[in-house]
Amino acid sequence: MSKAPNEVDFYRTRDIIVGVPSEDVATHDPLNPHLSVGHRPPIVNGVPLFNQIQIQTIEFCNLKCDFCPNHYLIWDRLDNKKKGIPHKVMSIENYTKIVKNLADLNFTGRISPYLMNEPLMDKDRMVELIGITREHLPESPIKINTNGTGLTTKLLGDMIDAGLTSIQVDDYFDDKHAERLYKQLKPFEGVNGKCFITLNSNYNVNQVKKRNQKVTEPHFGPFTYWNRAGLTNVNPDMPVPQKDCVWPTNHMVIKHDGDVLLCCCDWEYKVVHGNVFTDRIEEVWTNASFQHYRDTLKQGRRDKLRMCRKCNKGSFNNEADRLENLKVWMEKKSIGESVSETI
């Protein structure tokens, strides 16, 4: 029986910081730069406001990654596309309404115009959406994560000029694909004056080929990867921890129709706390539904909450502890060799 491989060989991941706004902020967290500059959220109705918000401007992603619930949700959306039914989108008017509400709340945290989608599927409007965000929220970091399949140097430049301050480009294919992506990013390499740019590669990913294809092989990644509230087979060695989760306390996610979901794991839209098109953001954020989840999580009782009861996010606090657990898990499952060969 082989031992668990080391982190580099096992995970096949690579993170490259391509560009930074300036040398003095080069050590900030490029994923959440607002957390590096002493951000303190305002208090609304006695509850601290979230420090991050994601807004789904279009309901579609073009990839079928096995670690993501989109691999089984995409098929109906592809069928609709073949029938001429357009992807569901949030109107510019409603997006602007959300941003203006945030401005009224003196929000200065991170805003991301994407959620459970590929943001550049909305590339014809993305520059405009970023510009609207920057107009009304001049101090907020604006960040997107993209698989890069729709990214060009010109589009990136236009988004940066409109106000984008951070972009994470995720490469799920191979080194050749990463090289192509890097060419698009290269003009903004080093100190570029405006934007954090990272290129993240994850080569444990398989693309699901057909509808109803069962994903039988587990997807392994660092301890920061998780199973999307039990919707995917990611890091099955990591148990569901009966402890708090900060997302319902610091993170709001809004889908294209204004519904506010539990978190970015809720791909099936199972837990809806309210709607920001019918109520104001602060009313939804401080309502009884949201507070129930926060209070229950603080008690360490994920088992009492829908979605949370199957979620293994936060199972371990560091990679060393997780790897020790992984070795034991592999030995119990008697799959040490097969897992190593698979990934």
pLDDT, tens digit, for every residue of 264-307? 999 999 999 999 999 999 999 999 999 999 999 999 999 999 99
d(CA 210, CA 251): 33
Question: In a 10 Å sphere around its CB, with 0-12 CB exposed, 13-18 middle and 19+ buried, how is residue 137 labelled?
Answer: buried
**Three-state secondary structure string covering the chain:** CCCCCCHHHHHCEEEEEEEECCHHHCCCCCCCHHHHCCCCCCEECCEECCCEEEECCECCCCCCECCCCHHHHHHHHHHHHHCCCCCCECCHHHHHHHHHHHHHCCCCCEEECCCCCCHHHHHHHHHHHHHHHHHHCCCCCEEEEECCCCCCHHHHHHHHHHCCCEEEEEECCCHHHHHHHHHHHHHHCEECCCCEEEEEEECCCCECCCCCCCCCCCECCCCCCCCCCCCCCECCCCCCCCCCCCHHHHEEEECCCCEEECCCCCCCCCCEEEECCCCCHHHHHCCHHHHHHHHHHHCCCHHHCCCHHHCCCCCCCCHHHHHHHHHHHHHHHCCHHHHHHHC
Residue 15 CB coordination number (10 Å) = 12
Query: What's the whole-number mean pLDDT along residues 2-24?
Result: 69
Specify the residue for token string 């490259």: 16
Question: Picking from 11-20, 82-91, 158-167, 197-206, which range would have the lowest pLDDT averaged per residue?
Answer: 11-20
Question: Picking from 172-176, 305-309, 339-343, which range would have the lowest pLDDT averaged per residue?
Answer: 339-343
Band the pLDDT of 335: cuts 50, 70, 90. low
Query: What's the whole-number mean pLDDT along residues 20-36?
Result: 60
Q: Is the pLDDT of residue 144 over 90?
A: yes
**Three-state secondary structure string covering 15-36:** EEEEEECCHHHCCCCCCCHHHH
pLDDT digit string, tens, across residues 188-220: 999 999 999 999 999 889 999 999 988 888 888
Question: In a 10 Å sphere around its CB, with 0-12 CB exposed, 13-18 middle and 19+ buried, how is residue 318 labelled?
Answer: exposed
Query: What's the whole-number mean pLDDT along residues 118-147?
Result: 97
Q: Which of 144-153, 214-223, 328-337 has the highest mean pLDDT?
A: 144-153
Query: What's the whole-number mean pLDDT along residues 150-162?
Result: 98
Q: What is the pTM of this model?
A: 0.91
DSSP β-ladder status, 251-254 and 259-261:
antiparallel
pLDDT digit string, tens, across residues 242-260: 999 999 999 999 999 999 9
